[in-house]
Structures are given as C-alpha cells and as structure tokens.
Amino acid sequence: MRGRLAAPAVLAGAALFALAACSSSASSSSTAPPAPSLTAEASVPAGDASSGPVEADAAAEHVHNLALVGTDLYLGTHEGLFKQPAGAPMSRVSADPFDVMGLTRSGDSWFASGHPGEAMGGPADLGLITSADDGVTWSPVSLSGEVDFHRLSASGDTIMGVSAHDGAFMRSTDAGSTWTTLSAVPPFDLAVSPQDPLVVVGTTPDGPTLSRDGGETFTAIEGAPLIALVSWDGTDLYGIDPSGQVLVSSDEGRTWASRGTVAAEPVAATAQGGALAILAGGTVYYSTDGGQSFTPRITGLAGH
C-alpha cells in the first residue's frame, strides 16, 4: 500500500517521492489503493551507443532541466543554456550565463525562468523570458522581478508554471503576456498535453493527477503508479518513477506500460520523437526506442 506525504508548496526533489513510497509500511490506513495498471514490456538489451558518452562541460555547474530538439540535447544549467549534439561535446549557447531554473519550448520559441548571471543586471528573478534564436539571446516577457518558475510546461500559447518563492501555480494563455494564479495545489512536476492544452498531468507524493480544465482542478488517477517526472511526446505520456523505472501511457495516465530503467534517482527528463533523455546520478541516459533501453550520453554532471 502506498503511503501519503503532505506536499509543501514546492517540493525539493524526487527523493520526497521515494520517502512517500517507503512510508507505506508505517501508514495507518487500512484500505489499499487499487493496484497499479501496468503492462510489462520486454527490455531491449542494447540502446543507441554508436558514439559513446561525452564528458560534461566543466562550466555546467548544476543541471536543472533537459529538452530535446531532434537529436540535439539542451541542458538548462546554473551557468546558462547548453547544447549537446549527438556524439559531440556540449557547449553553452546562451550569450548570458543566466541560471536556467525553468525551461520549456513551444514551436520555435524557448521560454525560461531563473536568475541573472553574475555580470548581468536587472532584478534577482527573471520572471518569464523568451528566445527565438535557438537560445542564444533572450528577452523579457513578463513577471520580471516577481516570479522564479522552477517548473514550466507549454503547449501552443498556453504556458503553465510553478513559482519557487510562494508555490503559486500559474497559467498563461497568451504566450506568457498575462497570467492567472490557479487555486489548485501545485504539482511537483507537470506536463501540458501537446494535443490539448486543457489537459495537464501533474505528479504528487500520492500519485499522478489529471486536469481537463487547464489546471483549474485536478483529480487523482486511480490505480496509477507513483511517478516523479512526466513528459509528453505526441499522444504518449512518459513517466519516471522515483527509482528510475520508465513507464508510458497512451490514455492520459489511466494505464501504464513499463519500459526500461535508469540506474539512479531521476532529476530531470524529456521525451521527443520516440527519444528520451533522463538525468540520474550525474549521467544523462539516452534512449531512441521509447525508453526500452538506455545508454549513457553525458557523464560527470551534477543535478540540482
């Protein structure tokens, strides 16, 4: 039986999910939740290891988030936005080394949040900023000096984020120009459906939740496994549990199929075009077969 853990405004990391799972033995509840709806799939023994892993750039002090564009991997770090083409070294692409705490992409535009670099001026919180030149230059959109989003997810003109300072759960439907603060409890991680921006999946210490009204309300997904990180890829929703087990759902989280695993607690994850990248234990693990098998892509990273 899965234990319950009261969620703070902004959760610190996937370790809280592991604690929630371990606390089940001490739970006083006498009613177990429905058994998770999982379908096991055979693991592929070898992934895409054609070029082997590369060492992390020494300037990338901490990695907060990942994103895939084709085969290029982007890493939001404490020292700016980095890019790593498949098999090539990673290098910083952002002109300014700002602290990329939140990162998402919609169409050809990047959106980010965080803090300015040491040599940059302006307020301590960047609010929402955007880039239309592949992350090289960035311009303010809104909330400068007010908000530091540590979670961002976008679909079309809809952007949703969780503020680190006060746990405010916020939504914009005009590409970040204006915002509404939602009354729902903010999730640890969230993913807005690329098919329908009203559909949002969030993760909590009690299991994933689903919204069909753009985050106004969420309901628990009955019988779903405990999941820390989520990422949409078309109609497929990928979830990574606190131990590194990868799962996929094609019905908005109602049922899940188990795929492969990574070797440590997941810190960040992204999925695109059947490929997955997961940061765990200082290594970015990469899959080209929908998460059935993984190989190291970047080693020597620090998650934060």
pLDDT digits 0-9 by tens, 61-82: 799 999 999 999 999 999 999 9
Q: Find the range with the poorest average confidence among 11-15, 69-73, 227-231, 296-300.
A: 11-15
Rounded average pLDDT over 181-197: 97
Mean residue pLDDT across the chain:
86
Q: Which residues of 255-267 are buried (b: 16+ CB within 10 A; e: fewer)?
A: bbbbbbbbebbbb
State what percent of residues in the chain have pLDDT above 70: 83
More confident residue, 303 or 152: 152
Distances (CA, A) of 145 to 113, 157, 222: 11, 22, 39
- pTM above 0.75? yes
pLDDT at 5 over 80: no
Distance CA 21, CA 205 (A): 8
* pLDDT per position as a tens digit, 88-99: 999 999 999 999
**Residue 17 pLDDT:** 53
More confident residue, 303 or 193: 193
HSE-up (13 A, CA, CB side) for residue 108: 3
CATH number at 15-24+37-299? 2.130.10.10
pLDDT at 39 over 90: no
pLDDT at 38 over 60: no
**Residue 196 pLDDT:** 97
Distance CA 180, CA 156 (A): 17
**Residue 127 pLDDT:** 98
Q: How confident is the model at residue 180 (pLDDT cuts 50, 70, 90)?
A: very high
